[in-house]
Structure formats: C-alpha cells, structure tokens
Amino acid sequence: MEALIQGDIIDFIPFFNVKVEEGNLLINEDGDLSLIVDTGFNGGIALPEEVLEEMGLELAGYDTFRLATGEVVELPMFLGKVIIKDFEVETWFIPGDWLLGMEFLYVAGRQLSLNFEDDTVKLRQ
C-alpha cells in the first residue's frame, strides 16, 4: 500500500510539511511549514488566524471545542481544501496551532503509521 503522504518525526512529534498556495493548503514534502499530527484533536485542521486570512476562507459558522486543558471554547469554523498530490479533500479549519486532526486523517486516508526506527509518519489510503 503506497503512502499518500509521508512526513517526519522529530523529538517524538510527527508532522507533515505544508504550504499555502492559491487559497489551498498543500501537503507535500517540499512545503516550508509543518503541520503536527495530533491524534488528540478530533477536528480537521487548526491553523493560525493570519494563515486562515491569507487563504481567504469564508466563515462557515461556529462550534464548541474542548481544549487539552479541559476548557470549552466556541471557535469560528472555515471550510477549505487540502491538496495532497492530485487528491483534494474538503475539511474544516479552525484558528489555533499548526495541527492536523483525526477528522481530516479519517477523510483523507485509512491508515496512519508511525515508524520510530526511521523517524517517519505515513498516511495511506
């Protein structure tokens, strides 16, 4: 089974390289930004507000989220596209840290593997 995307693990933190281009988030190996794979985040993708503004995403609504601290907050949600090779995924974006959540992983792939021997993370379909 071929990897849809491959990333690295540094200091036990798995991440994929990304870049913003023409209002979309591209996940690819030559991206200059890092998106942390966060299995504790059940949403789509969290990005800093300035990146969401740069992407030009329109507000789709608000939802409540429970943070790692246990605090419940209401956050704006934006609908946008993620491009992986020639594959497009529509997902929800919220303001926050550079996080890739479980909802996105479920929609984009079927198998997430962490290999600590060669420090790689792979998402396969």
d(CA 51, CA 45): 12
Rounded-to-5 percentages of helix, strand, coil across the chain: 10, 55, 30
Expressed as residue numbers, the domain containing 17 is 3-124
CATH number assigned to the domain comprising residue 106: 2.40.70.10
pLDDT tens profile 23-61: 999 998 888 999 999 998 989 999 999 999 999 998 999
Angle at CA of residue 26, ends 25 and 31, nearest 5°: 115
CA 23 to each of CA 36, 44, 60, 101: distance values in angstroms, whole numbers, following the listed order:
20, 17, 16, 20
In contact, 46 and 34? CB cutoff 8 Å: no
Q: How many domains does the chain have?
A: 1
pLDDT tens profile 65-115: 888 889 999 999 999 999 998 889 999 999 999 999 999 999 998 899 999
d(CA 7, CA 54): 24
In this prediction the pTM is 0.91
- Burial classification of residue 67, based on how many CB atoms lie within 10 Å of its CB (0-12 exposed, 13-18 middle, 19 or more buried): exposed
CA 39 to each of CA 13, 42, 50, 54, 58: distance values in angstroms, whole numbers, following the listed order:
11, 7, 24, 26, 26
